[in-house]
């Protein structure tokens, strides 16, 4: 019985070893953020993680260290740049909309209009950790 079970598990392990759950910029860019009921976990976090705090972005813990550095590696650290319900005074919005200066960003990391609007809507809706 153990031999049969072992033989059944081996092909499954082989099959799953080829699964790749790596998220790419193309994956993030293909997500359309809705005009309301924006989810941090479904829409905002994958976007910020890929575009801002990944190995390609500048706002990971090891990438942008130093005093006064803007770190965007968790909901808590993102909320340091957000005034929930008030996009007009949230640093995250002021920067993504180009109102506050930000160093040049490679094209692959730039936010499209839907992404900017989605982040703004999320802040306007209270910047919930949902």
Percent of the chain with pLDDT over 70: 68
Q: What is the mean pLDDT of residues 40-62?
A: 81
CB contact set of 22 (below 8 Å; sequence gap of 6+): none
Report the C-alpha gap between 6 and 21 in whole angstroms. 26
Give pTM, 2 decimals.
0.74
CB contact set of 7 (below 8 Å; sequence gap of 6+): none
């Amino acid at each position: 019985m153990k031999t049969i079970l072992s033989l059944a598990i081996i092909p499954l392990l082989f099959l799953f070893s080829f699964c790749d759950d790596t998220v790419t910029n193309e994956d993030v860019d293909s997500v359309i953020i809705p005009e309301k009921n924006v989810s941090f976990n479904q829409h905002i976090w994958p976007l910020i993680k890929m575009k801002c705090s990944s190995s390609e972005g500048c706002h990971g813990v090891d990438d942008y260290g130093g005093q006064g550095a803007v770190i965007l590696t968790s909901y808590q650290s993102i909320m340091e740049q957000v005034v929930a319900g008030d996009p007009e005074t949230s640093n995250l919005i002021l920067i993504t909309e180009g109102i506050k200066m930000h160093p040049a960003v490679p094209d692959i990391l730039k936010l499209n209009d839907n992404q900017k609007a989605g982040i703004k809507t999320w802040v306007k809706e209270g910047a919930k950790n949902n």
